[in-house]
Amino acid sequence: MKTTQKIIVLFLLVTPIFGKAETKEIPFTLDDRDRIIRTEQKIESVKTEMNARFEAVDKQFTGFRSEINARFDQLFNFLWAFIGIFTAMMVSVFGFAFWDRKLSLAPMKRDNLRTLNALRDFAEHQPKLREILKNAGLM
């Protein structure tokens, strides 16, 4: 406990010394002011020089921009043509598949219909077959 009190008392005695060290004033001279002014002037000259260079580069790339835009337009036109061709191909393939399926199933449907009609005719004389067709929902 006594050591804690000693540390606290020592800390309280030393604290004002640190406070005075931080409050020491640094004088600002005319030489410092002149140095700041020269630095600001140098910064302004660097800014103007950079702006001039950026404008020169901008002028140089202005011609290239129109060429690049023309190339992008050509590329987009090519892509639209490619998409149109691909879409036409896909539509024609699906159309052919549906048409072929319909065409190939038509004879089978006619054969099934003829077979069903034959079974219905035969069921008129056979009661057991008539019962089977009624249960299947074909009569």
Q: Is 90 exceeded by the pLDDT of residue 26? A: no
pLDDT averaged over the chain? 85
Give the C-alpha separation, 26 to 36, whole Å.
Answer: 16
Give pLDDT tens digits for 27-68.
778 888 899 999 999 999 999 999 999 998 888 777 777 788
pLDDT at 102: 85
pTM of the model: 0.40
User: In this structure, is residue 20 part of a structural domain?
Assistant: no
> Residue 82: CB partners within 8 Å, gap ≥ 6?
none
User: In this structure, is residue 15 part of a structural domain?
Assistant: no
User: In this structure, is residue 110 part of a structural domain?
Assistant: yes
The structural domain count of the chain equals 1
> Residue 129: CB partners within 8 Å, gap ≥ 6?
119, 122, 123
Which structural domain, as residue segments, surrounds residue 60? 30-136
Residue 85 one-letter amino acid: I
For the record, the structure tokens of 97 come out as 């598949």
User: In this structure, is residue 63 part of a structural domain?
Assistant: yes
